[in-house]
Amino acid sequence: MANVNKCPWIGSMFVLCLICELVAFAATTKPNILFILTDDQDVTMGGQTPMVKTKQLVGDKGIIFNNMFTTSPLCCPSRSSIFTGRYVHNHEAVNNSLSGNCSSRAWQQTQEVKAFPTYLKSKGYNTFFAGKYLNQYGNEQAGGVEHIPPGWNNWNGLVGNSRYYNYALSVNGVREKHGNQYPQDYLTDVIHKRAVSFLLKQHKWSDPFFMMLSTPACHAPFTSAPKYNATFSNKTAPRTGSYNIKAVNKHWLLEQPIVPMPADMVSSSDEIFRRRWRTLLSVDDMVSDLINLLDKKGQLDNTYVFFSSDNGYHLGQFGLPYDKRQLYDFDIRVPLMVRGPGIDAGRISNDIVLNIDFAPTFVSLVDDSMMDNVDGISMRGILHPQENKTQPLRTSFLVEHTGEYSTNVKDCPQYTNQNMGNCDSHCVCEDSKNNTYACLVTLNNSSSVKYCEFSDTENFVEVYDLKNDPSELKNLYQTLDPSHVFDLEKKLRFLATCSGPECNSLPK
């Protein structure tokens, strides 16, 4: 703390001097940042509904964003974009596999070394991570658990993909095995307890912290804490929008689901829906406890709290059983709530924000500095409009996905050598080699259009009027004027190859 002993002990003069010193101290103290990232949490199916305390303590106390999107509807590509601030075609982690560059040695050596945690640590931040990092983290071919991503002072990284029990953590480079006992092994609660422990040990509050808590909820296997196993027992997946509707004039992968869905598939999707919500209740508890602890420690007013997810989800939309990976709104629209110093409570924002915006935002909130080599835009101008800083107006963005597949699909011999992936018991597949696409999404007052091109033998194209057809039922491609198609294609080509600030200035 600032040295107040130099203030003379002379009644009101001391008080005035003390106030001045405290104001100077506050002005030079960097803000803390708490970032909670869930896994596969949707918006369109009511995925935020269970988060009652989070909405009250974060969203209602700050800003709720209505137009928050991921630029890739798959865990590792999206998370790689969050850490780097770059589109997939620039950080090149194209899917969840090691061969797809997910936490590979090449990614570690070229992208990880420039991710936002390295900036924050260089600015004096005490950095803490707990939970899921990247799907292939801990793979022995990429350094194993001994590899600690640069920029983290305190590292508790999950080895592999989301689990709730029977997993391993890398605790500052040392493998820590966990079994199946509740509560000591339940991963959301482990993250919760270690975050609390970190904050209780943060005695020197003049040293700011950045804390990222990356929960397994609400990803498969959808395991809730025992105390929540009976909640939401009467809930079912929403029967709205494109639920259980046969896809027409869409990419062939979307036309192979069974519609109407078999009874067991409907029952399974409803059970998954309930289980997903139940897992989120433990996240809600964690958010509440941490905010209350920060308040007791006198740090809440100097702490930004961000709550979001890596990608959306679907359960029965167009007959697809359960997953993400698709170009539609249900898989790319995600929650975002932010509170923090100087942010007025009760705000709703319709600004377009993306997962590539987190990295430059965190860096700019530290000392208004810029992060190099990013495609995203800092949200600082949206969070603090009173600063009158120039905020680039984004009206368009890019969505990219590279399909994952296998040569053999278990229990589906008809798909041998067909390059299919992620198939259920009815052999309905959610991904394929040529489920590889790039989309231009434009949202403004005059035009709300999604234009997508697939990398397949047909060069298939889908176009949707998002204002008049929010469920994306009708592909308009064949009805468009060729000049309009040419304009959309030109803009998509630009975004699909852009790099840096130019990504936010589409050609005319």
Q: How far is the C-alpha of 360 from the C-alpha of 350, rounded, in Å?
A: 20
Contacts of residue 4, Cβ cutoff 8 Å, sequence gap at least 6: 17, 18, 21, 22
Residue of 61, 80, 42 whose CA lies nearest to 305: 61
CA contacts within 13 A on the Cβ side of 213:
26
439 in catalytic set: no
**What does residue 25 show for φ and ψ, rounded to 5 degrees?**
-65, -45
Catalytic residue among 75, 102, 429, 503: 75
Q: How far is the C-alpha of 280 from the C-alpha of 50, rounded, in Å?
A: 7
Q: At what angle do helices 358-367 and 75-84 cross, to 10 degrees?
A: 20
Q: What DSSP state is assigned to residue 339?
A: E
Q: What DSSP state is assigned to residue 302?
A: G
Structure tokens at 166: 């029977």
Q: Which residues pair with 338 in a beta bridge?
A: 63, 306
User: How far is Cα of residue 317 from the mean position of the Cα atoms in its chain?
Assistant: 21
**Identity (one letter) of the amino acid at 421?**
G
> DSSP assignment of 135-182, as one string?
TTTT-GGGTGGG---TT-SEEEEESSS--SSSEEEEETTEEEEE-S-T
Residue of 75, 69, 106, 74 whose CA lies nearest to 91: 106
Do 61 and 345 touch, CB atoms closer than 8 A? yes
Structure tokens at 253: 């992968």
Q: Catalytic residues, which ones? A: 75
